[in-house]
Amino acid sequence: MAVDPQIQPLLDRANAVGLPDFGRLTTADMRAGINGMLASFNAGRRPVEGVEARDISLRASPPLPARLYRPSLPAGPAAVLVFFHGGGWVVGDLDTHDVFCRQMAVLIGCTVISVDYRLAPEHVFPAAPEDAIAAVAAVRARAGEFDIDSDRIVVGGDSAGGSLAAVAAQAAATGDVRLAGQLLICPSTDLATPPPAGGSRERLATGYLLTEAEICWYADQYLPAGTDRTDVRASPMFGDLAGLAPAIVATAGYDPVSDDGIRYAEALKRAGTPVEHLHFTSLIHGFNLLDAISAEADRAVRAVAAAVRRLIQPAA
């Protein structure tokens, strides 16, 4: 199947510009370019109705800001999705994923808490996974304050945020936080193993928005020299995958890191962790932010939300 024809014009425009010189690229330039592009996906969109969004702080020092989205819900503690945005651990923020978090709150029917974790290179590994683990613990500890059902906490994220969600889910399984689920959208799960010949990173190295050169640049910003890339906080593939919260893994046919998500879903299944793997053959990395321009991406976002909804429905 070919790339979704509604997404192809976006790829054509990006490919016409060409790749930046990653040897000279500054973090500020990368953030301006990527964050601006992500914001453009939602330009002119009508705000999602029925959501109250407010900024909160999950930790005073070092600061861990977050944004809480609460749709119109029945009285009583609500399920919550603790969400980590994508962006290679370097770019992205609360605003780039604001519309998506609003969509999730409404489509799932739950509270969403989007976490503004620390970014590299100002804060290199393991700052981001430490923040992810701390965020989940803080949400559970403040469940009463946020009117959250502590038995229905789901961690989730896209791309680098999917990696952080996987790390947080593993940490929760070894601690005292019981999760209802984990949502991993186009996750990066292995920064240690060289991409195999013929794999998704080789086949889709250029032309599909996220490129192999960009993936390597992000990893270099995030991981200090000498980092053990098999550390489970960097590569959750190397963690203990048994006994984890049920997982929803969403992958895309034209995503260079799709092998990461596919292999992780398979490894979770082998370890006995329940997995629902959703694969969208015509979509690209970051499809969850493209629902305004692609009917297929919109259907995928709704399928992801429906899968989470099934995990958090109260027992009859």
CATH number at residue 63: 3.40.50.1820
Q: pLDDT class for 42, splitting at 50, 70, 90?
A: confident
For 244-264, what is the mean pLDDT? 98
pLDDT score of 314: 61
Residue 277 falls in the annotated catalytic set: no
- The answer to whether residue 68 scores a pLDDT higher than 50 is yes
pLDDT score of 256: 98
Catalytic residue among 159, 163, 188, 282: 159
Q: Which residue has the tokens 């500890």?
A: 141
- The answer to whether residue 238 scores a pLDDT higher than 50 is yes
* 177 lies in some domain: yes
* 233 lies in some domain: yes
Catalytic residue among 255, 259, 260, 291: 255
* 287 lies in some domain: yes
* 255 lies in some domain: yes
pLDDT tens, position by position, 43-56: 777 778 889 999 99
Q: Which residue has the tokens 């040897």?
A: 23
Catalytic residue among 188, 235, 285, 294: 285
Burial of 39 (0-12, 13-18, 19+ CB in 10 A): middle
For 136-162, what is the mean pLDDT? 97
Q: Average the pLDDT over each of 81-90, 157-166, 173-182, 203-212 and give the range with the smallest value.
A: 173-182
pLDDT score of 44: 76
For 119-125, what is the mean pLDDT? 98
Residue 255 falls in the annotated catalytic set: yes
Q: What is the mean pLDDT of the chain?
A: 95
* 246 lies in some domain: yes
Q: Which two tokens stand for residue 306?
A: 């429906």
For 153-181, what is the mean pLDDT? 96
* 19 lies in some domain: yes
* 43 lies in some domain: yes
* Cα distances (angstroms) measured from residue 190 to each of 90, 112, 122, 228, 260: 17, 27, 22, 12, 7
Percent of the chain beyond pLDDT 90? 89
Q: pLDDT class for 175, splitting at 50, 70, 90?
A: confident
For 123-131, what is the mean pLDDT? 98
| Max Cα distance, the chain (Å) | 58
Is the N-terminal amide bond of 62 cis, ω within 30° of 0? yes
Q: pLDDT class for 29, splitting at 50, 70, 90?
A: very high
Smallest CA-to-CA distance from 110 within 308, 300, 244, 246 is with 308
Percent of the chain beyond pLDDT 70? 99
* 238 lies in some domain: yes
Where does 159-238 show beta strands of DSSP type E? 181-185
pLDDT tens, position by position, 70-119: 998 888 899 999 999 999 999 999 999 999 999 999 999 999 999 999 99
pTM of this structure: 0.97
Dihedral angle, C-alpha 295, 298, 299, 301, nearest 10 °: 160
pLDDT score of 43: 78
pLDDT score of 315: 53
- The answer to whether residue 316 scores a pLDDT higher than 50 is no
* Cα distances (angstroms) measured from residue 11 to each of 14, 15, 72, 228: 5, 6, 37, 35
pLDDT score of 192: 98
pLDDT score of 40: 87
Q: Which two tokens stand for residue 19?
A: 């790749």
Helix (H, G, I), strand (E, B) or coil at 55: strand
Higher pLDDT, 1 or 106: 106
pLDDT tens, position by position, 267-308: 999 999 999 999 999 999 999 999 999 999 999 999 999 999
Count of structural domains, the chain:
1
- Please give the residue range of the domain that contains residue 175: 8-312
